[in-house]
Amino acid sequence: MRFLSIQANMPSQVAKSGKKLLDLAFPKVMGILNITPDSFFEGSRFKASNTQIIDKTGEMLQAGATFIDIGGYSTRPNAIDISIAEEIDRVVPAVEAIIKVFPEVIISIDTFRSQVARETVKVGAAIINDIAGGNLDNEMFNTVAELQVPYILMHSRGNPTTMNKLNDYQDITLDVITELQQKVSQLRALSVKDIIIDPGFGFAKNAKQGFEMMRNLEAFKVMDLPLLVGISRKSMIWRTLNISANEALNGTTALNMFALMQGAKILRVHDVKEAVETVRLFEELEK
């Protein structure tokens, strides 16, 4: 098990992994590695080939990724359901293979299942990225508390099949913050120390709501927790521009810069090189 600690005290947020300190006062990039055949973006789909997985990981690390986010269950709307055993069979060997070649890598596991979280942390994963915010597994919060690993708390409602019908909000930004704060309180009661929040663009939110939330992203600072934004190649971009996900890199970059200007500390992306360049330009603007 690897130990990673994220301190959320503004403005000097740091993450500690062993003897390594990671300063989150400046934004970082999380590269997406989907060990799935049906992710919504074709360019992020990888078969369970160690060579391909290691090559892609090396490419993202070389481009400047701080974290690698591995997912074995596609959470796009109406995605095919797979068993816990199959998800574990996809991600555990991937984590083991990556750590063998890149022993210093910080791996995040994109899962809503506590058993997957437990098994991947055993072999070296350091962060749990839960797209369901604990809603789809009653044991997730207890598991994270027991493992004492940083937890990415994403806002969502329902599951991949039902979430598109659960987007009725009085005030999208206020409602999302309120629901996240309720979850943070539950996690704090269990002594979970390290929490990162993710507003959940595209999850139980339509494009109009996504843009409204993006315009008000700075409001999430009230939570005093590191903010992760994941809008990479999502439908709110390509449907607005009347293009495909494969053509949505430029739109992703534009919204990533806006997110940084509103306080995002982690960008979760398919295209690491472009996101790292965006962060570098943002840092120049902030000088």
CB 195 within 8 A of CB 8: yes
Q: At what angle do helices 140-147 and 114-122 cross, to 10 degrees?
A: 20
How far is 53 from 49, CA to CA, in rounded Å?
A: 6
CB 70 within 8 A of CB 35: yes
Alpha helices in the chain (DSSP H): 50-63, 84-101, 114-122, 140-147, 172-189, 207-215, 235-238, 249-261, 272-286
How far is 75 from 111, CA to CA, in rounded Å?
A: 9
How far is 147 from 192, CA to CA, in rounded Å?
A: 9
- Catalytic residue numbers? 234, 268
Using alpha carbons, list the distances in angstroms from residue 30 to 41, 117, 119, 239, 273: 16, 18, 21, 24, 11
